[in-house]
Amino acid sequence: MKEKYKILNFSAITDKRGSLIALENLKNIPFEIKRIYYIFDTKPEFPRGAHAHTNLEQVLIMIDGSCEIILNDGKISQNIILNRPDIGLYIGKNIWREMKNFSYGAKMLVLASDFYNEKEYIRNYDKFLKVAK
Protein backbone atom coordinates (compact mmCIF):
# COMPACT_ATOMS: atom_id res chain seq x y z
CA MET A 1 0.00 0.00 0.00
CA LYS A 2 1.26 3.47 -0.86
CA GLU A 3 2.06 5.78 2.04
CA LYS A 4 -0.30 8.68 2.73
CA TYR A 5 2.57 11.07 2.24
CA LYS A 6 6.34 10.87 2.04
CA ILE A 7 9.44 12.84 1.18
CA LEU A 8 11.04 11.95 -2.15
CA ASN A 9 14.75 12.65 -2.59
CA PHE A 10 15.67 13.37 -6.20
CA SER A 11 19.20 12.85 -7.51
CA ALA A 12 20.62 15.95 -9.17
CA ILE A 13 23.11 15.72 -12.01
CA THR A 14 25.52 18.47 -11.15
CA ASP A 15 28.50 19.88 -12.98
CA LYS A 16 30.20 23.25 -13.19
CA ARG A 17 27.23 24.62 -15.21
CA GLY A 18 24.70 23.89 -12.48
CA SER A 19 22.29 21.07 -11.67
CA LEU A 20 19.57 19.11 -13.45
CA ILE A 21 16.87 16.80 -12.09
CA ALA A 22 14.77 14.50 -14.29
CA LEU A 23 11.32 13.30 -13.13
CA GLU A 24 9.91 10.14 -14.69
CA ASN A 25 6.59 8.29 -14.51
CA LEU A 26 6.65 5.36 -12.08
CA LYS A 27 10.39 5.78 -11.50
CA ASN A 28 11.14 8.63 -9.12
CA ILE A 29 7.48 9.78 -9.35
CA PRO A 30 5.22 7.05 -7.86
CA PHE A 31 2.36 7.45 -10.38
CA GLU A 32 1.70 8.28 -14.02
CA ILE A 33 1.75 12.05 -14.44
CA LYS A 34 -1.35 13.39 -16.20
CA ARG A 35 -1.08 17.05 -15.26
CA ILE A 36 1.59 19.55 -14.33
CA TYR A 37 0.92 22.97 -12.86
CA TYR A 38 2.97 25.54 -11.04
CA ILE A 39 2.36 28.20 -8.44
CA PHE A 40 4.34 31.43 -8.50
CA ASP A 41 4.14 35.11 -7.45
CA THR A 42 3.50 33.89 -3.90
CA LYS A 43 3.30 36.15 -0.84
CA PRO A 44 3.76 35.07 2.80
CA GLU A 45 0.51 36.70 3.93
CA PHE A 46 -1.59 34.55 1.59
CA PRO A 47 -1.90 30.86 2.48
CA ARG A 48 -3.18 28.39 -0.11
CA GLY A 49 -4.67 24.92 -0.07
CA ALA A 50 -7.06 23.96 2.75
CA HIS A 51 -8.58 21.00 0.97
CA ALA A 52 -8.17 17.27 0.35
CA HIS A 53 -8.64 15.14 -2.75
CA THR A 54 -10.76 12.00 -2.88
CA ASN A 55 -8.97 10.63 -5.91
CA LEU A 56 -5.72 12.43 -6.65
CA GLU A 57 -2.07 11.87 -5.86
CA GLN A 58 0.43 14.68 -6.23
CA VAL A 59 4.10 15.52 -5.80
CA LEU A 60 4.94 19.07 -4.70
CA ILE A 61 8.41 20.44 -5.44
CA MET A 62 9.66 23.83 -4.34
CA ILE A 63 11.72 24.79 -7.38
CA ASP A 64 12.61 28.14 -5.81
CA GLY A 65 11.93 29.65 -2.39
CA SER A 66 10.17 27.97 0.49
CA CYS A 67 6.84 27.27 2.12
CA GLU A 68 5.36 25.30 4.98
CA ILE A 69 2.94 22.46 4.30
CA ILE A 70 0.55 21.18 6.95
CA LEU A 71 -0.69 17.66 6.27
CA ASN A 72 -3.52 16.06 8.16
CA ASP A 73 -4.94 12.55 7.69
CA GLY A 74 -7.86 13.21 10.03
CA LYS A 75 -5.95 11.93 13.06
CA ILE A 76 -2.40 13.27 12.93
CA SER A 77 -1.15 16.59 11.65
CA GLN A 78 2.43 17.17 10.48
CA ASN A 79 4.25 20.31 9.35
CA ILE A 80 6.84 20.03 6.60
CA ILE A 81 9.11 22.78 5.29
CA LEU A 82 9.77 22.58 1.57
CA ASN A 83 12.79 24.65 0.60
CA ARG A 84 14.91 22.59 -1.83
CA PRO A 85 14.43 21.71 -5.51
CA ASP A 86 15.81 18.20 -4.95
CA ILE A 87 13.02 17.26 -2.51
CA GLY A 88 9.48 16.30 -3.48
CA LEU A 89 6.53 15.84 -1.17
CA TYR A 90 4.26 12.99 -2.27
CA ILE A 91 0.66 13.43 -1.02
CA GLY A 92 -1.80 10.58 -1.46
CA LYS A 93 -5.60 10.57 -1.44
CA ASN A 94 -7.71 11.94 1.42
CA ILE A 95 -5.03 14.08 3.02
CA TRP A 96 -5.98 17.61 4.07
CA ARG A 97 -3.23 20.06 3.06
CA GLU A 98 -2.59 23.68 3.86
CA MET A 99 0.28 25.72 2.46
CA LYS A 100 1.48 28.81 4.27
CA ASN A 101 4.49 31.07 4.91
CA PHE A 102 5.45 31.18 1.25
CA SER A 103 8.57 33.19 0.61
CA TYR A 104 8.00 36.10 -1.77
CA GLY A 105 7.97 34.95 -5.37
CA ALA A 106 8.44 31.26 -4.56
CA LYS A 107 7.90 28.73 -7.34
CA MET A 108 6.20 25.41 -6.64
CA LEU A 109 5.95 22.72 -9.30
CA VAL A 110 3.16 20.16 -8.86
CA LEU A 111 2.85 16.83 -10.65
CA ALA A 112 -0.62 15.27 -10.50
CA SER A 113 -1.93 11.78 -11.22
CA ASP A 114 -5.07 13.02 -12.96
CA PHE A 115 -6.66 15.88 -14.85
CA TYR A 116 -8.20 18.79 -13.00
CA ASN A 117 -11.63 17.93 -11.58
CA GLU A 118 -13.12 20.33 -9.05
CA LYS A 119 -15.68 17.64 -8.07
CA GLU A 120 -13.04 15.53 -6.36
CA TYR A 121 -11.88 18.37 -4.10
CA ILE A 122 -13.05 18.34 -0.47
CA ARG A 123 -12.88 21.96 0.58
CA ASN A 124 -14.92 21.64 3.78
CA TYR A 125 -12.92 20.45 6.81
CA ASP A 126 -15.87 18.83 8.61
CA LYS A 127 -16.75 16.88 5.48
CA PHE A 128 -13.10 15.82 5.20
CA LEU A 129 -13.12 14.50 8.77
CA LYS A 130 -16.15 12.33 7.98
CA VAL A 131 -14.49 10.94 4.83
CA ALA A 132 -11.14 10.42 6.61
CA LYS A 133 -12.67 8.18 9.32
Between vectors from CA 90 to CA 14 and to CA 20, what angle results, nearest 5°?
A: 15
Determine if 42 is a binding residue for ligand T46 (CB under 6 A): no
Among residue numbers 7 through 36, which ones bind ligand T46 (CB under 6 A)?
35
Determine if 48 is a binding residue for ligand T46 (CB under 6 A): yes
Question: Does residue 51 have an active-site annotation?
Answer: yes
- Of the residues 48, 51, 84, 107, only one is catalytic, namely 51
The beta strands (E) that lie in the chain are given as 5-9, 13-15, 18-20, 35-39, 48-53, 58-64, 67-72, 77-82, 87-91, 96-100, 107-112, 121-122
Among residue numbers 97 through 126, which ones bind ligand T46 (CB under 6 A)?
97, 110, 116
Length of the chain: 133
Q: How many residues bind ligand T46 (CB under 6 A)?
A: 10
Determine if 44 is a binding residue for ligand T46 (CB under 6 A): no
- Residues designated as active site: 51
